[in-house]
Amino acid sequence: MKTPDQAVADRILEEFRKKQMLSEKGLRSISHSLPTGSLKAEDWRLLFETDRLEKETDHGGESQQNQHAGISRGDGAH
């Protein structure tokens, strides 16, 4: 039987999965530490930054190509 902490962690992970906020690799990497509450702010930041960079690499650096083509992200940055 799952602990209440594990049940909450599972719900959080499922929402991340549904909204495609993290890759399966990213989800697996926090699946054990999330229920314990041991993740720090810097852990979350590193996780999301690493995951984003891996997604960009998997898509052939698509955002870098857009930047070189002069396509704006809509926030004033290129």
What span, in angstroms and rounded, lies between the C-alpha atoms of 75 and 66? 14
Q: Quick one: pLDDT at residue 64?
A: 52
**Is there a domain that residue 43 lies in?**
yes
Query: Mean per-residue pLDDT for 41-55?
Result: 94
In a domain, 75, yes or no: no
In a domain, 50, yes or no: yes
Domain annotation covers residue 76: no
The number of domains in the chain is 1
Tell me, yes or no, whether 77 lies in a domain. no
- Give a yes or no: residue 73 inside a domain: no
Q: Is 49 part of any domain?
A: yes
pTM of the model: 0.67
20 half-sphere exposure, CB direction, 13 A CA radius: 1
The confidence band for 59, taking pLDDT boundaries of 50, 70 and 90, is confident
